[in-house]
């Protein structure tokens, strides 16, 4: 059993693609196939199943993955301890849901790439409990979640920034001009929501039911952009984090409904496994993430405070 075989298996488990694995490891696809076949023959079990273009771990592969991950982590740690300190290199595997990937993380990725060009970032789009599962199974080094701040014994969670949620509609929607709403106003309205694995969708649903709403008429989407476009087209009421709505609100394509969402309180967080060895590349990424995103939170707070002060001056005539 060779380290390169374990690295190939681990990368293939992370990407789910022979071609992507070959690209990341600078192999031709046939080399990936040969190494996996050799590893399976040595272990005497089938580790992977090919389903069309997708690759899935077998039960044996799922059981073997944590051991391969531990061996590769130990090897990486040994290299770092014994080598001279120089340019930070390595790979950091990141998981995040669509909202954070599209609206929060691009500036972070750009900053990290500028500061640490020798580190390769591998991104895995995931959702819901898949994010935490990827940490526990060793398929990701760090993940970003938009959720309630709930601790876990095996996962370390670091707060990054609070995120407000808005209920929005098209300017032509019947509720768009209302200065206040009651729960009965939502009767027969269509709610445009993310899939059921999304934590804030579940929380919002329960919040409306507690306030007296009947069974909600929901249209479920896997894409935030699809939700926004349907809301712009007047097809219903969308609930989304404010970070995803800035452009549409600024351009007047969507308007915020006067509905209290203070009980839908979520924050962006970065998580990693408490037992995982923190490589220099991973440590650098966590440091940049906290520095970049918490700075944005402080700046936003200052802007909001300035707006409140300016509004107060205008009101008092001072």
Half-sphere exposure of 126 (CA within 13 A, CB side): 24
| Per-residue pLDDT at 80 | 64
Q: Is 282 in a helix, a strand, or coil?
A: helix
| Per-residue pLDDT at 83 | 56
Domains 1-83 and 165-260 share a fold: no
| Per-residue pLDDT at 235 | 93
| Per-residue pLDDT at 85 | 59
pLDDT in tens, the chain (318 residues): 788 888 888 888 888 888 888 888 888 888 988 999 999 989 999 998 887 777 888 899 888 888 888 788 777 766 665 555 567 888 898 999 888 888 989 999 999 999 999 888 888 777 777 888 888 888 889 999 988 877 778 899 999 888 889 999 999 999 999 999 998 888 888 999 887 777 778 788 778 878 877 767 888 888 899 999 999 999 999 999 999 999 999 999 999 999 988 777 788 999 999 888 888 889 999 999 988 887 555 444 444 434 433 433 443 343
What is the residue whose two structure tokens read 């269509």?
Answer: 190
CB 11 within 8 A of CB 18: no
Tell me: domain 1-83, CATH 3.30.365.10, correct? no
Instruction: Determine the Cα–Cα distance for residues 164 and 242; give it in Å rounded to an integer.
Output: 6
Instruction: Determine the Cα–Cα distance for residues 229 and 134; give it in Å rounded to an integer.
Output: 31
Torsion, Cα of 194, 199, 202, 204 (10° steps): -90
Strand pairing class (90-96; 119-125): parallel
55-64 long-range Cβ contacts below 8 angstroms, 24+ apart: 55/12, 55/13, 55/16, 55/17, 55/18, 56/16, 57/13, 61/9, 61/13, 62/137, 64/9
Single pTM value for the model: 0.68
Instruction: Determine the Cα–Cα distance for residues 273 and 216; give it in Å rounded to an integer.
Output: 37
CATH no., domain 87-162+266-318: 3.40.190.10
Listed in sequence order, the residues at least 6 apart from 7 whose beta carbon sits closer than 8 Å to its beta carbon are 25, 72
The class level of CATH for 165-260 reads alpha beta
| Per-residue pLDDT at 94 | 92
| Per-residue pLDDT at 306 | 44
Domain boundaries, the chain: 1-83, 87-162+266-318, 165-260
| Per-residue pLDDT at 256 | 96
């Amino acid at each position: 059993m060779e380290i390169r075989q374990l690295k190939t298996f681990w990368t293939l488990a992370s990407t789910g693609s022979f071609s992507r694995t070959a690209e990341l490891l600078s192999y031709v696809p046939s080399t990936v196939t040969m190494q996996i076949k050799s590893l399976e023959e040595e272990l005497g079990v089938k580790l992977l199943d090919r389903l069309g273009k997708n690759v899935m771990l077998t039960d044996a592969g799922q059981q073997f993955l944590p051991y391969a991950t531990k061996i590769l982590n130990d090897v990486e740690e040994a290299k770092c301890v014994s080598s001279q300190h120089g340019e930070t290199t390595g790979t950091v595997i990141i998981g995040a849901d669509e909202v954070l990937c599209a609206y929060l993380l691009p500036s972070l990725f750009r900053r990290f790439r500028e500061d640490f060009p020798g580190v390769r970032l591998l991104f895995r789009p995931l959702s819901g409990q898949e994010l935490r599962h990827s940490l526990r199974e060793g398929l990701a080094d760090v993940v970003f979640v938009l959720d309630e701040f709930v601790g876990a014994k095996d996962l370390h969670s670091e707060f990054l920034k609070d995120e407000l949620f808005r209920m929005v509609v098209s300017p032509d929607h019947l509720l768009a001009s209302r200065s206040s709403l009651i729960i009965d106003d939502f009767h027969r309205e269509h709610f445009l929501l993310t899939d059921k694995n999304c934590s804030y969708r579940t929380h919002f649903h329960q919040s409306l039911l507690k306030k007296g709403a009947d069974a909600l008429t929901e249209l479920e989407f896997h894409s935030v952009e699809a939700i926004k476009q349907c809301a712009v087209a007047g097809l219903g009421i969308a609930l989304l984090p404010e970070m995803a709505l800035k452009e549409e609100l600024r351009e007047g394509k969507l308007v915020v409904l006067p509905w209290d969402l203070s009980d839908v309180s979520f924050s962006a967080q970065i998580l990693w496994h408490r037992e995982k060895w923190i490589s220099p590349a991973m440590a650098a990424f966590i440091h940049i993430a906290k520095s970049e995103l918490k700075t944005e939170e402080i700046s936003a707070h200052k802007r909001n405070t300035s707006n409140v002060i300016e509004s107060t001056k205008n009101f008092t005539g001072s």
